[in-house]
Structure 1
Amino acid sequence: MKKASILMIVGSLLLLGLFKFPLWNIMLGAPQYPEPLGMNIFINGIEGQNEFDIQNIDGLNHYIGMKTLPKPEDMWEFRVFPMVVGGMALLGVLFGFLVLTKKIGYQWFLVWFILMTILGTLGMYDFNAWMIDYGTNLDPNAIMKLQNPDGTPMSYKPPLLGHKKLLNFDAFSYPRLGGYLMFVGMLLTLLAYIIGRRNFKLERV
């Protein structure tokens, strides 16, 4: 079980990259902005890709009635997500050592993977719900009030993943390095379970 345990430990530790690198990125490009505006979303806050990007995005949003981008103290997620990620990383390392010392079975690797998948799905759902509120709950006294062809208020929700046209802006939303590290880490933990199961079967032959 040594190889499986090492993969589990390494995969779990990759989650700690989320404390250093952004999880997600949203870019806004338009003809009047030679340098696109961007924001990097970390597990504990939002930062502009360039020095004045957050200020410029908030300035644009003011005209259409969107709220300013939240600061870490404005969202409970920025306080809870670091604890969840840190806790899951430590739990994965613990499982790796316990399986290595034969205190528990390799099946706990799958338990960790399923739990992390559920937490990750809930996190993405929450992120998407925040963007829906951010892009549709607009100030009725905004300077600009734009409507769809059918007369309904226009939504400015960025895409959860991919590209979307927002007025004359092209919005792009994709994972960043922290998100890729988390994905690779989860794949390694799943691989650890598969290898652990194979080794268990070979030992019983």
Structure 2
Amino acid sequence: MPLYLAQFYAFLDRPVSKPARLVLALLVIPLALSLTQPLWRISMEAAQYPQGLYMDIHAYKVEGGNGGQHLQEINTLNHYIGMRKLDEAAFADTAWIPFALGALIIFALRIAAIGNIRGLVDLVVMTTYISLFAFGRFVYMLYTFGHHLDPQAPVKVQPFMPAVLGSKKIANFTTHSFPALGSILLGVFVGGLLVVVAWELLSGRREAVRRVKAATRWAPATDEA
């Protein structure tokens, strides 16, 4: 096996440093709290709704403002243009998210207790995959809501793409779609995880440099012919 591969595999098998373990254990807190907070908020406003309407999308439920009244109003408005009802059944494709986040919590705690660099890299890969896949499913659901309209609806509108991130005007409504506190907490976990990985990479590089210097310092001199 080439030397550089042997060194790389040795680095992957190196235990995670104690400071990194502590930080990783603390990062589990915002990850766990993200399960209790909405991940996304979609709101809309118009002349007849000057105070606006909004709904919060959690990892396991959809919740309307004003004790759920806003969601009922939004569904009534959507009915007129033929959009399917927004409820927990409509977001069934996201039912796996709490289990995925729970798996990340368990895996992160395991690495914080007995993990090595290899496990830390696996955690980054898993977190990236789950985040991108969940966001992709969310975008796809919004697409289907705006494009699969009932042709028998009282009000005819052209198929449209609802706002994913930012604001968009649809008919006489202005809709807004932005991350909520749950996504911010997830961002804290992801950002902190990347910092931990960067710290371990720098620590590994410094250790490799020290070994090379030590080997050079104590290497016996060769006699010249």
Q: Tell me the TM-score normalised to structure 2 length.
A: 0.80
Q: Structure 2, unaligned stretches of length 5 or more? A: 1-16, 211-225
Q: Of 66, 72, 85, which aligns to 1:68? A: 85
Q: Is the 2:148–2:159 Cα contact (8 Å) retained in structure 1?
A: no
* Sequence identity (%): 27
Counterpart residue identity of residue 141, structure 2: W
Q: Is the 2:38–2:59 Cα contact (8 Å) retained in structure 1?
A: yes
If you compute each CA radius of gyration, which structure gives the higher value, 1 or 2? 2
Between the two structures, name the one with larger relative contact order (CA 8 Å, sep ≥ 6): 1
Q: Does 1:167 align with 2:167?
A: no
Which deviations, in whole Å up to 9, do the C-alpha atoms of 1:92-123 show, x marking residues without a partner? 11111113xxxxx2242232112211111111
Q: Say if 1:86 and 1:70 are closer, same or farther in 2 by CA, change over 3 A.
A: same
Q: Structure 1, unaligned stretches of length 5 or more? A: 100-104, 147-152
Q: How far is 1:193 from its partner?
A: 1.1
Which deviations, in whole Å up to 9, do the C-alpha atoms of 1:22-58 show, x marking residues without a partner? 0001110111112111010000010012221000000
- Residue 104 of structure 2 aligns to a residue whose secondary structure is helix
Counterpart residue identity of residue 83, structure 1: F
Q: Does 1:119 align with 2:104?
A: no
In structure 1, distance between residues paired with 2:201 and 2:112: 14
In structure 2, distance between residues paired with 1:3 and 1:32: 55
Q: Say if 1:76 and 1:33 are closer, same or farther in 2 by CA, change over 3 A.
A: closer
In structure 2, distance between residues paired with 1:134 and 1:30: 20
- The residue that corresponds to 2:14 in the other structure is none
- The residue that corresponds to 2:187 in the other structure is 183
In structure 2, distance between residues paired with 1:132 and 1:120: 19
In structure 2, distance between residues paired with 1:42 and 1:84: 14
Q: Tell me the TM-score normalised to structure 1 length.
A: 0.87
Q: Does 1:79 align with 2:80?
A: no
